[in-house]
Amino acid sequence: MLKNDPEIVREIEAAFAAYDTALLANDVDALNGFFHDDPSTVRFGHAENLYGFNEIAAFRASRTVVPNQKRMRTVVTTWGKDFATVATLSQGGDGSRTGRTMQTWVRFPHGWRIVAAHVSSIPTPAS
């Protein structure tokens, strides 16, 4: 199994960039399109545990706060041609907290989709 095939890494980088654009624009339809429509898809957030696509979509529909963040240290790891993870940090607001995002992506016949995601934050370490 080939790790980090450059072509697959570029595909995931493009998919994640499109996801990030949709997130910053609060484009709910686009955001929903990035998640696999299945009851086993999971997203753990700052204050919510979402099980299944329907709970994720309902959360997106009710969200009014649009994050203002800058991504840092994004790491894309691919395994073969159909499985990848994205791990990234983000900084926004007053800089007192560092956001952390971890996503698991799977290629389906209809394209790359997130099957699991975790979003959390920790106090920003002192420099």
- What's the pLDDT band for 125 if we cut at 50, 70, 90? confident
Domain, as residue range, for 35: 6-121
Residue 29 falls inside a structural domain: yes
Q: What is the pLDDT of residue 127?
A: 66
Q: What is the pLDDT of residue 55?
A: 98
Residue 98 falls inside a structural domain: yes
The tally of domains found in the chain comes to 1
Q: Is the pLDDT of residue 66 over 80?
A: no
Mean per-residue pLDDT of the chain: 94
pTM attached to this predicted model: 0.93
Please give the average per-residue pLDDT across 96-120, as a whole number: 96
Question: For position 41, which CATH number holds?
Answer: 3.10.450.50
% of the chain beyond a pLDDT of 70: 99
Residue 126 falls inside a structural domain: no
Residue 1 falls inside a structural domain: no
More confident residue, 58 or 2: 58
Distance CA 107, CA 82 (A): 5
Q: How many CA atoms lie within 13 A of 52 on its CB side?
A: 4
Q: Is the pLDDT of residue 67 over 80?
A: no
At 24-53, the pLDDT tens digits run 999 999 999 999 999 999 999 999 999 999
Neighbours of 68 (CB within 10 A): 10
Residue 114 falls inside a structural domain: yes
